[in-house]
Structure formats: C-alpha cells, structure tokens
Amino acid sequence: MSTTSGRPRRATVHDVAVVAGVSRGTISRYVNGDPYVSASARHAIEAAIAEVGYVPNTAARHLVMQRTETVAFIVHEPHSLFIEDPNIGGILLGANAALSEADHQMAVLIIDTERDTERVAKYLSGGSVDGAIIVSARAYDPVARVVERLRLPAAFVGHPPGATSAAFVVIDNRGSAHAITERLIGTGRRRIGMIAAALDRDSGSERLAGFADALGDRYDDNLVERVPLYSYSAGRDGMNALLDRAPDIDGVFAASDAVAAGAMEALRAAGRRVPEDVGVVGFDDSAWARRTLPALSTVRQPAEGLGRQAATLVLEQLRGDITPREVLLESEIVWRESA
Amino acid sequence: MSTTSGRPRRATVHDVAVVAGVSRGTISRYVNGDPYVSASARHAIEAAIAEVGYVPNTAARHLVMQRTETVAFIVHEPHSLFIEDPNIGGILLGANAALSEADHQMAVLIIDTERDTERVAKYLSGGSVDGAIIVSARAYDPVARVVERLRLPAAFVGHPPGATSAAFVVIDNRGSAHAITERLIGTGRRRIGMIAAALDRDSGSERLAGFADALGDRYDDNLVERVPLYSYSAGRDGMNALLDRAPDIDGVFAASDAVAAGAMEALRAAGRRVPEDVGVVGFDDSAWARRTLPALSTVRQPAEGLGRQAATLVLEQLRGDITPREVLLESEIVWRESA
C-alpha cells in the first residue's frame, strides 16, 4: 500500500499487520467479525491498532455492519434555482433536523450537470449511504432509476417520476392551485392569466391543472404563458409575454413566489399597479413572498415539514417498518396585499 | 449477518462465500487485493459475485484504496442564514463544478445544532471522505479542530479560526470595506454609520476595520450598530437602532446585502428616501442586491470562484502537490442607485 507524498498519511491495515505480526488476511477476518480468529491474534491486533493510532475505519466497519448511518439528500436543480428557490433550504433543514435527532448524518448531493447524475448514481450504488431523500426528480431521472434498481430505502419530496415503488411526501398542488385561483376570482377579476412553470414536473403540471379547474368554462389558454423554470427572470419574461398578448389582463396566478416577484417587477416596469390594476398571487410562501411590495398572497408550503417527513419515511424503512407509500401534508392560503 | 425485516436486502459477502464454496476470510483477502488467493478460488468468487448480484462494495474497496473520491463541503450556518445568504449557494456550486470535473463526489454536511457538530466531526474521522471544504467556521470550531487533528486535506473559505495549518481562500474584506466606504464618503455624506454583523467571524470584524480605516479621525463609534447575523431582520433592527441614536444619519455601510435590504426596509418605514436622504451600500453582490429598490451599490464577492478555488486546493493536496496556504481572490465595487 503506497502513501501519497506531500502529506502525512493515516495508519492503514498494513501498519497494523506489521506491528501485530499477523497477515493482512487475518486483519481482514478480524475487521469482518470472523469468529475464526484466534484469541492471541485478536489481542495482538487490538494492541497494534492502539499502538499505530489506526482510526477505526468506517469502511471496515461497513463490511461488518452494512450500515453507514448516512442518508443522501439529492437535489436535482439547475444552477440558478438552487440559489433562487428558498423552499429547498427549508426542506433541507427539516430533513437534517429529523436525521440528526436519529443520529444519522445527512450528505447533500447536488446534481447540476449530466456528469453529476452519473457520478451520484455510482455513489449511491457503492454503499456509501443507507438511504436517500430525493427532491425535484424529473421524468426519466437516472437517479430515480438507480434507487429503484438497488431497492435503496428512499423517499421523494414530490410525486416521483415513472413507475416506482418508493415512498413520497407531497402537498396537494392541484387543490391548492384551485383554491387560490378561486380566491383571486372572488376579488372580482375578469381576465385572469397564469404564468405556468416547470411543466416537466408534477408540481408544475398540477398547478396548471388546478388553475384550469377553478376557471372551468372561462379558462382561456391564450392567457397561460408557459415558462421553463420557477425563477424570477422566467416570471418577468412570462408577465411581459402576457401583457403583449392580453393588455387587459387584471389577475395573474404565478406558479411560484419567485415567478410572482418577477411578474410584479414586469408590471411595475409597464406602469401597472398591484393590486389596483392587476392582482397577483403566488405559490410557496418562501422568503420571496415577504420581500415583494406589496406583500404577496400565496399558498404556504410546509417546506420544513416536507423535509422532516421525507427523512422519517427513510428512517422507518431502515428500521424495517412498513411505511405508507404516500404522505400528504396540508398547505394553506396566506392572503396579503398583492391581490 | 442478519437482515433487516420488511425490505429486500442487498447481497453480502456471506452470500458470495456460500455460493463460491470458500470461506469469508478468502473473500476478504480477495476484496483486499491480497495476491495469495488461488486462481481457482478467485474464479469461484468472481462467478459467485455475478450470480448473487453482489454490488462491488465501496466499503470493501476503501480498505484497499484508502480513497473514497468524496470531499465534504461543510456549512456551519444557523438556520435562517442558510436560506437567506445566497452567497453560500454560489460557493457551493463553484466547488461542486470543480470537484465534478475531477470526478469527485461532493457531500454537503450542514451544521445546525451542537449535535450536528459532534456527528460531523465523527463522520470526518471515520474515513468516509478524502478531504473537506469548510465555510463559515468560527473560532473554537470543533470541526476545524478535527480537520487539524486528522490532518485531513482541507481548505477553508474565509480565514480559518485559531492556529491551523489548513489552506484557505479569501477576499480582502478589510480593503474592500475601506474602498466602498470611501466611495460613499465621496458622495458628500457627512454622518456615515455602519451596521456591523457577525463580529465573531473574520469577515465581519475585517469589514468593520475597513470602515474605520476609511473614516479615520471622523470615525464615531456611536454610529456603529453591532448585530449578530448577516440577515435581513438584523439589518432592519440595526437601522432602527441607528435612526434612534442618530436621526441625522445620511449614509450607511451595511455588512452584507441582506443586512442592507433590511436597512432599506427600515428607512422606507421611517419615511427616509434612498438615496436622496440616506445613501446605503452593502457587501456581497448576492441576488439581494438586484432585488432592492433602488438597486444596491455593493462589493462583488466572487462566490463561485471562492468555491472553485477551495475545491482546487483540496484536490491539489489529494494529488500530493504542495499548495499555497492562502489564496486571495479579487473583489470589485459595483455602483448602482442606492448611494
């Protein structure tokens, strides 16, 4: 076993073998918990471990325990969103709290490029974690497929893509979108549009469906602008497109608070007052909602609760408990000044 | 080796041994790369591995390689900050990109409570990672002590606390604070205050020192409000305290953009116009700076560059290269409308 030059190395199994005067095979049997290691060899190995300062190695322990007490938290988000979506922070801290209370380490893995996807899939296969929490998986996600193939104890935040047996925790996106659109209709608006985002995800397509449910016969697809991401700039661009197509628009349901903040900026630039000329509502109740002027009416997502519940689902599977396949958390409308 | 009831288990070394008709000790020698495994045993083991679907185990490989190809990214931030400070997202994505290009997995570990600190320290000791990037370490940080004790290849973002031999990457907080305060003085302000934050960290205390440098004899400690965190609410409270003590204040250097955004909200609530009545400048050029109205004049921190450079310092140490102890990245003033 060679050492890396230029930095001090940690003691290895080899060092222990030399000091104990036994073979590395014997050390391996010892760390693997093999009962057929003689008492004298065992004592020599234990003394040698103490002498050379061999750090009880997680890798060795894993061979015995098959447990790492680590749970991956996988965020599959493009660059800008990780920074712009404050919900992920809440989900992450909720999961961390629940795992921490159960003495499990959370390791956040970020998927930003195709290369990351492949490496994370390999990492999950390699036995470095006992389970995984997956946020924002999309259809045909290789990470979701790896979790399924390995039968890794897992929980998705949001409805997982494709046919999977994994557990998941969700809010009722469709029902919540329906409810806030109805409330917006109730303020007397007559030309209500939507900036629909992230339609490749369950949350995005369900929010659009809930909007259509609420409008019923009055639904006008010309008043729906589809944007790729739940982002501020997508909201600004989407609002500008709606204003071009329908200058008489007087209400907007933005698919997220960041989208709503961008839409409000576009309305301000176009000289439209919120809520007097155009009523705006969002979705999430993230930090964005409290920073807009006027403050945003929105749907509150229990971000920390989603993270905590996802962690609980994984911990239950690790204990061998039978877990529900789907957990639905309550969301609520928070009505402020923007509509 | 018992299995956990209620979920399918992965194939283990034991399964391979049964099918191959060899002892677990022989399997152990095989996975450890021991040359004294007979060719026939080797073939039997390889056939058995294929048959039972044994996943080549990272834990086993680690015993041979002593490398996990994983680098921890440790964020030591209280709850609200992880969500409110968009700089951390940039640092994180920069580090992830550099590690990904070198085919290393980044695992983000979040320290939110004392319990997290102890568990992360244990995790680092256990051989699960080859190195670590540490953001926002504070004086007497147990994680910094563990990194030092293990001589783990590491890089800090920001000046590490205490006496440590670890590498770090920084910007010139003091010089940048000096420069933006001078620029604010240049707009003709006569009563300039500061909302100083996070004085238990290097960045916080150096920004205050730079402010004092720029004002020289005109420095008035009565115009400095000290707040605990780089947060929006700390900025709002800090500005209110300054307005109480010095109603004639006409310029404010806020220690971060989030602090500046909170200060601007307090000024608006107090009926002071920005920049007409009070000029405000921040620090970071995070997403906050582009959301304030008017847009914030600030110091641009190269967040992604800091992360990328920290990852590079760790990768160099893993290759056995001699790395610089300190890397200084350039920051620049971005002058907008708030002062």
Closest CA of chain A from B228, distance in Å: 20
Q: For residue A321, what is the nearest residue in chain B, using CA coordinates? A: B6
Asked whether the beta carbons of residue A119 and residue B105 sit closer than 8 angstroms, the reply is yes
- Our CA angle for A5, B318, A110, nearest 5°, is 170
Closest Cβ–Cβ partner in B34, B36, B151 for A8: B151
Label the pairing between strands A70-76 and B326-329: unpaired
- Which range, B21-30, B75-84, B126-135, B155-164, has the best average confidence (pLDDT)? B126-135
- Which range, A119-123, A227-231, B16-20, B273-277, has the best average confidence (pLDDT)? B273-277
**B158: buried, middle or exposed (CB in 10 Å: 19+, 13-18, 0-12)?**
buried
pLDDT over 80 (residue A305): yes
pLDDT at B32: 58
pLDDT at A231: 86
pLDDT at B158: 87
Q: What is the mean pLDDT of residues A31-53?
A: 75
| Residue B103 binned pLDDT confidence (cut-offs 50, 70, 90) | very high
Chain A residues inside the 8 Å CB shell of B110: 92-93, 96, 106, 108
Percentage of chain B modeled with pLDDT above 90? 53
pLDDT at B1: 36
Asked whether the beta carbons of residue B127 and residue A97 sit closer than 8 angstroms, the reply is no
Quickly tell me which residue has 């770090």 as its tokens.
Answer: B168
| Residue A7 binned pLDDT confidence (cut-offs 50, 70, 90) | very low
Least confident segment among B143-157, B241-255, B265-279: B143-157
Chain B residues inside the 8 Å CB shell of A56: 126
For chain A, give the mean pLDDT: 86
Return the HEC string of chain A. Answer: CCCCCCCCCCCCHHHHHHHHCCCHHHHHHHHCCCCCCCHHHHHHHHHHHHHHCCCCCHHHHHHHHCCCCEEEEEEECCHHHHHHCHHHHHHHHHHHHHHHHCCCEEEEEEECCHHHHHHHHHHHHCCCCCEEEEECCCCCCHHHHHHHHHCCCEEEECCCCCCCCCEEEEECHHHHHHHHHHHHHCCCCCCEEEEEECCCCHHHHHHHHHHHHHHHHHCCHHHEEEECCCCHHHHHHHHHHHHHHCCCCCEEEECCHHHHHHHHHHHHHCCCCCCCCCEEECCECCHHHHHCCCCCEEEECCHHHHHHHHHHHHHHHHCCCCCCCEEEECCEEECCCCC
List of residues 6+ apart from B45 with CB closer than 8 A: B16, B20, B22, B26, B27, B30, B37
| Residue B203 binned pLDDT confidence (cut-offs 50, 70, 90) | confident
Q: What is the mean pLDDT of residues B232-251?
A: 96
Phi, psi of B270, rounded to the nearest 5 degrees: -90, 5
pLDDT over 80 (residue B110): yes
Chain B residues inside the 8 Å CB shell of A24: 29, 32, 34
Asked whether the beta carbons of residue A105 and residue B109 sit closer than 8 angstroms, the reply is yes
Q: What is the mean pLDDT of residues A90-114?
A: 92
Q: What is the mean pLDDT of residues A290-300?
A: 90
pLDDT over 50 (residue A204): yes
Q: For residue A86, what is the nearest residue in chain B, using CA coordinates? A: B83
- pLDDT (tens digit, 9 = 90+) per residue, A70-83? 999 998 876 655 66
For chain B, give the mean pLDDT: 86
Q: d(Cα B288, Cα A125) in Å, to the nearest integer?
A: 39
Selected residue with higher pLDDT from A255 and A137: A255
| ipTM of this predicted structure | 0.72
Least confident segment among A6-15, A52-61, B120-129, B132-141: A52-61
pLDDT over 80 (residue A177): yes
Q: For residue A91, what is the nearest residue in chain B, using CA coordinates? A: B83
| Residue B11 binned pLDDT confidence (cut-offs 50, 70, 90) | low
Asked whether the beta carbons of residue A57 and residue B63 sit closer than 8 angstroms, the reply is yes
Closest Cβ–Cβ partner in B7, B59, B101 for A317: B7
pLDDT at A11: 66
Are residues A162 and A143 in contact, defined by beta-carbon separation less than 8 angstroms?
no
pLDDT over 90 (residue B19): no
Q: d(Cα B32, Cα B308) in Å, to the nearest integer?
A: 34
pLDDT at A60: 47
Selected residue with higher pLDDT from B218 and A148: B218
Q: What is the mean pLDDT of residues B178-207?
A: 94
Percentage of chain B modeled with pLDDT above 70? 86
Asked whether the beta carbons of residue B5 and residue A57 sit closer than 8 angstroms, the reply is no
Closest CA of chain A from B152, distance in Å: 9
Q: For residue A148, what is the nearest residue in chain B, using CA coordinates? A: B8
Q: What is the mean pLDDT of residues B104-115?
A: 90
Closest CA of chain B from A37, distance in Å: 10
| Residue A63 binned pLDDT confidence (cut-offs 50, 70, 90) | very low
pLDDT at A57: 46
Asked whether the beta carbons of residue B93 and residue A110 sit closer than 8 angstroms, the reply is yes
Q: d(Cα B81, Cα B286) in Å, to the nearest integer?
A: 13
pLDDT over 90 (residue A264): yes
pLDDT at B6: 41
Question: For helices A232-245 and A257-269, what crossing angle results, to 10°?
Answer: 50
pLDDT at B315: 95
Closest by Cα among B203, B204, B184 to B195: B204
Exposure b/e, B188-205, CB count within 10 A at least 16 = b = ebebbbbbbbbbebbbbb
Chain B residues inside the 8 Å CB shell of A89: 82-83
Size of interface A-B (CB pairs under 8 A): 200
Selected residue with higher pLDDT from A40 and B77: A40
pLDDT over 60 (residue B277): yes
pLDDT at A141: 75
pLDDT at B3: 38
What are the structural domains, with CATH classification, of chain B?
13-65 (1.10.260.40), 70-171+304-329 (3.40.50.2300), 173-300 (3.40.50.2300)
Q: For residue B318, what is the nearest residue in chain A, using CA coordinates? A: A4
Asked whether the beta carbons of residue B6 and residue A151 sit closer than 8 angstroms, the reply is no
Q: d(Cα B199, Cα B177) in Å, to the nearest integer?
A: 14
pLDDT at B308: 97
